[in-house]
Amino acid sequence: MATKINPGFSKELKKYGAVNMNACYNCGTCTAVCSLSTTDDSFPREMVRYSALGLEEDIKSSLKPWECYYCGECTANCPQTANPGELMMSLRRWLTAQYDWTGLSGLLYRSLSSTIAALLLVLAGVLLFANSVDFNAERMLHIGHYFEMTAIGAVLLVIFLPNLLRMWYFTIVKPKVKAPFKNYVTALSDLLVHMFTQKRYKECDGDVHFRWLEHFVLVIAYLSLLFTTVFLNWFGSQSIFVIVLGYVESFLIFVVTIDFVGSRIKKNKSLNQFSQPSDWLFVIWLLLMGVTAFLVRLFIDLGLIETQQWMYIIHLTVLAQWALIIVPFGKWTHFLYRSFAMYFLKIKSMQ
Amino acid sequence: MKERLGVYICHCGGNISDYVDVEKVRAAIEHEEGVVFAKTTMFACSDTNQTDMVQDIHEHNLDGVIVASCSPKLHLTTFRNVTERGDLNKYTYVHANIREQASWAHSDDKLGATEKAIHLVKAAIAKSRYADPLFPNQFEAEKTIAVIGGGIAGMKAALSLAEKKSNVILIEKGNRLGGHTAEWGSLFMTDEKGFELTTRIENDLRKYNNVTILTGEEVIDTKGSIGNFELKIRRQPQKEDDPMEIMELHVGSIVVATGYDHYLPKQGEYGFGTNETVITLPEFKQLVDKSTSKSLEFKGKKINNIAYVYCVGSRQSEGENTYCSRFCCTSVIHTAIEAKKKFKGIQNIHLTRGIRTYGKQELLYAESLQMGDVYLEFDEHTLPEIHTEDKKTVVTVKDILSAGKEMEMEVDLVVLVTGMVPRADQSIGSMLKLPKGRDRFFNEIHMKLRPVETVIDGVTIAGTCQGPKNISESVNSALSAATKSFSYISKGTLETEPIIAKIDQDACSWCDKCSNACPFDAIEQIEMGGRTVASVNPIVCKGCGMCTPVCPVDAINLIGYTSEEIMSMIDALA
Q: What is the pLDDT of residue B123?
A: 96
Q: Find how far residue B63's CA is from the centre of its chain.
A: 40
Q: What is the pLDDT of residues B170-207, one digit of tens each?
A: 999 999 999 999 998 889 888 899 999 999 999 999 99
**A280-307: average pLDDT:** 91
Kindly state whether B408 is in contact with chain A, defined as any CB-CB distance less than 8 angstroms: yes
pLDDT at position A273, please? 81
Judge whether B5-130 and B500-558 match in fold.
Answer: no
Do A40 and A87 contact (CB within 8 A), yes or no?
Answer: no
Q: How far apart are CA A310 and CA A325, in angstroms?
A: 22
B369 with A50: Cβ contact below 8 A: no
Out of A229-233, B45-49, B190-194, the most confident range is: B45-49
Largest CA distance in chain A: 71
Q: Side chain identity at A298, as an amino acid letter?
A: L
Q: What is the pLDDT of residue B317?
A: 86
Convert the pLDDT of each residue in A334-350 to its tens digit. 999 999 999 999 999 88
Distance CA A140, CA B32 (A): 127
Residue B407: φ, ψ to 5°: -110, 150
Give the pLDDT band (50/70/90) at residue A307: confident
d(CA A134, CA B21): 120
- Determine the average pLDDT of the residues in B329-353: 96
**Closest residue in B to A52 (Cα–Cα):** B374
A15 to chain B nearest CA, in Å? 15
Q: Is A4 on the interface with B (CB under 8 A)?
A: yes
- Inter-chain contact A49–B347, Cβ cutoff 8 Å? no
Q: Give the N- to C-terminal CA distance of chain A in Å, as an integer.
A: 25
Verify whether the Cβ–Cβ distance B370 to A25 is below 8 Å.
Answer: no
pLDDT in tens, B247-291: 999 999 999 999 999 999 999 999 999 999 999 999 999 999 999
Among the four given CATH numbers 3.30.70, 1.10.287, 3.30.420, 3.40.50, the one describing domain B5-130? 3.40.50
Give CA angle at B470 (B465, B476), nearest 5°. Answer: 75
Residue B103 to residue B101: CA distance in whole angstroms? 7
Confidence class of residue B398 from pLDDT cuts 50, 70 and 90? very high
- B43-52, B90-99, B557-566: segment of lowest average pLDDT: B557-566
The model's pLDDT over B4-40, given as tens digits with 9 standing for 90+, comes to 999 999 999 999 999 999 999 999 999 999 999 999 9
Q: How many CB pairs under 8 A join A and B?
A: 56
Assess B406–A contact: CB distance below 8 Å, yes or no. yes
Determine the 3-state secondary structure of B150 from DSSP.
coil
Answer whether A5 sits within 8 Å of B370, measured CB to CB.
no
Q: How confident is the model at residue A272 (pLDDT cuts 50, 70, 90)?
A: confident
Cα–Cα dist B27/B11, whole Å? 15
Q: Is B403 on the interface with A (CB under 8 A)?
A: yes
Higher pLDDT, A4 or A351: A4
pLDDT tens digits for range B51-79: 999 999 999 999 999 999 999 989 999 99
Confirm if B115 and B28 have CB atoms less than 8 A apart. Answer: no
The domain spans of chain B are 5-130, 144-259+423-493, 269-420, 500-558
Contact between B534 and B515 under an 8 Å Cβ cutoff? The reply is yes
The predicted pLDDT at position B240 comes to 73
Torsion angle (degrees, nearest 10) of CA A63, A64, A66, A71 = 170
Residues in chain B: 574
Residue with more model confidence, B197 or B240: B197
Asked if B374 and A25 come within 8 Å (Cβ–Cβ), the reply is no
Residues of chain A with C-beta less than 8 angstroms from the C-beta of B351: none
Determine the distance in angstroms separating the CA of B347 from the nearest CA of chain A, rounded to an integer.
Answer: 8
According to the model, what pLDDT value does residue B563 have? 85
Question: What gap in Å lies between CA B118 and CA B68, rounded to an integer?
Answer: 10
Give residue B150's pLDDT: 96
| Whole-angstrom distance, CA of residue B346 vs CA of residue B341 | 9
- In which order are the strands placed within the sheet that holds B459-461? B211-215, B167-172, B144-148, B253-256, B459-461
Q: Report the CATH fold assignment for B269-420.
A: FAD/NAD(P)-binding domain (3.50.50)
Under 8 Å CB-to-CB from A206, ≥6 apart: which residues? A71
The answer to whether the Cβ–Cβ distance between B401 and A49 falls below 8 Å is: yes
Q: Do residues B252 and B148 make contact, with C-beta atoms less than 8 angstroms apart?
A: no
**How far apart are alpha carbons A22 and B272 in whole angstroms?**
31
3-state SS assignment for residue B568: helix
Residue in B372, B377, B405 closest to A7 by CB: B372
Q: Which long-range contacts (CB under 8 A, 24 or more apart) does A347-351 make?
A: A347/A172, A347/A177, A347/A179, A347/A183, A347/A184, A347/A187, A348/A63, A348/A172, A348/A177, A348/A179, A350/A179, A350/A183, A350/A186, A350/A187, A351/A177, A351/A178, A351/A179
What's the CA gap between A66 and A45, in Å, rounded?
Answer: 14
Question: Is B19 part of the contact surface with chain A (CB cutoff 8 Å)?
Answer: no
- Nearest-neighbour CA in chain B from A178: distance (Å): 23
Q: What are the distances in angstroms from CA B215 to CA A306, B201, B235, B321, B534?
A: 103, 15, 8, 31, 40
Core vs surface per residue B169-194: b (16+ CB within 10 A) or e: bbbbbbeebbbbbbebbbbbeeeebb
Are the beta carbons of A3 and B406 separated by less than 8 Å? yes
Q: For chain A, give every domain's residue range.
A: 9-99, 104-349
Mean pLDDT over all residues of chain B? 94
Q: How far is A31 from chain B (nearest CA, A)?
A: 13
Decide if A53 and B366 are in contact by the 8 Å CB cutoff. Answer: no
Residue in B372, B375, B401 nearest the CB of A10:
B372
Please determine, looking at this structure, whether the domain spanning B144-259+423-493 carries the CATH number 3.30.420.10: no
Asked if the Cβ–Cβ distance from B369 to A24 is below 8 Å, we say yes
* Under 8 Å between Cβ of B303 and B415: no
Q: Which residues contact B31 (CB under 8 A, 6 or more apart)?
A: none
Instruction: Give the gap in angstroms from C-alpha A270 to the nearest C-alpha of chain B.
Output: 21
Please indicate whether, in this complex, the C-beta atoms of A7 and B374 are within 8 angstroms of each other: yes
DSSP annotation of A312 reads: H
Q: Mean pLDDT, chain A, as a whole number? A: 91
Q: Which residues of B touch A10 (CB under 8 A)?
A: 372
Q: How confident is the model at residue B296 (pLDDT cuts 50, 70, 90)?
A: very high
Residue A21 distance to chain B (closest CA, Å): 8
Across the interface, whether the CB atoms of B370 and A22 are under 8 A apart is answered yes
Selected residue of B349, B356, B396, B402 to mutate for chain A interface (largest A Cβ count, 10 A)? B402
Work out the pLDDT band at A129, boundaries 50, 70, 90.
Answer: very high
Tell me which of B369, B370, B398, B408 to substitute to probe the interface with A (most A C-beta atoms closer than 10 Å). B369
pLDDT in tens, B498-542: 999 999 999 999 999 999 999 888 999 999 988 999 999 988 888
**What is the ipTM metric for this complex?**
0.88
- Answer yes or no: are the C-beta atoms of B201 and B156 closer than 8 Å: yes
**3-state SS class at B66:** strand
Closest CA of chain A from B429, distance in Å = 42
What DSSP string runs through B321-367?
Answer: --S--SSHHHHHHHHHHHHHHHSTT-EEEEEESS----GGGHHHHHH
A-chain CB neighbours of B399 within 8 Å are 53
> Does any CB of chain B come closer than 8 Å to the CB of residue A13?
no
For residue A4, which residues of chain B lie inside 8 Å, CB to CB?
407-410
Element (H, E) at B78: helix B72-85
Residues 6+ apart with CB under 8 A from B242: none
Q: How far, CA to CA in Å, does B340 sit from each of A177, B187, B288, B364, B493?
A: 42, 16, 10, 13, 57
Q: How far off is chain B from A50, nearest CA to CA, in Å?
A: 8
| Residues of chain B contacting residue A20, judged by C-beta atoms under 8 Å apart | 370
The CATH number that domain B500-558 falls under is 3.30.70.20
Please judge whether B407 and A3 are an interchain contact, meaning their C-beta atoms are less than 8 angstroms apart.
yes
Minimal CA separation from A229 to chain B, in Å: 50
Q: Residue type at B407? A: M
- Alpha-carbon dihedral sign for residues B15, B20, B23, B28: negative
Q: Give residue B502's identity as a one-letter amino acid code.
A: K
pLDDT number for residue A218: 92
B contact test, residue of A4, A5, A21, A49 with most B CBs within 10 A = A5
Q: How many angstroms separate the CA atoms of A16 and A13, rounded? A: 5
Q: Which residues of B are less than 8 Å from A24 in CB distance? A: 369
Q: Are A44 and B383 in contact (CB under 8 A)?
A: no
User: Which residue, among A10, A53, A80, would best test binding to B if mutated, counting the most B CBs under 10 Å from its CB?
Assistant: A53
User: What pTM, to 2 d.p., does this model score?
Assistant: 0.83
Which has the closest alpha carbon to A115: A334, A322, A288, A325? A325
Chain B 380-399, CB below 8 Å of chain A: which residues? 396, 399
Say whether A46 and B401 touch across the interface (CB within 8 A).
no
Query: Strands B405-411 and B392-399: what pairing?
Result: antiparallel
Cβ within 8 Å, pair A53-B371: no
pLDDT at residue A270 greater than cutoff 80: no
DSSP class of A157 = I
**Cβ within 8 Å, pair B366-A23:** yes
Q: Is A27 on the interface with B (CB under 8 A)?
A: no
Asked if A2 and B365 come within 8 Å (Cβ–Cβ), the reply is no
Indicate whether B369 pLDDT > 90.
yes
Average pLDDT over residues A63-76: 92
Q: How many helices (H) and strands (E) does chain A have?
A: 20, 1
Residues 208-267 of A with CB under 8 A from B: none
Name chain A contacts of B376, Cβ cutoff 8 Å. 5, 53
- Is residue B19 packed enough to be buried (19+ CB in 10 Å), middle (13-18) or exposed (0-12)? buried
Residues of B with CB below 8 A from A56's CB? none
Angle between helices A277-301 and A310-321 in degrees, nearest 10 = 150
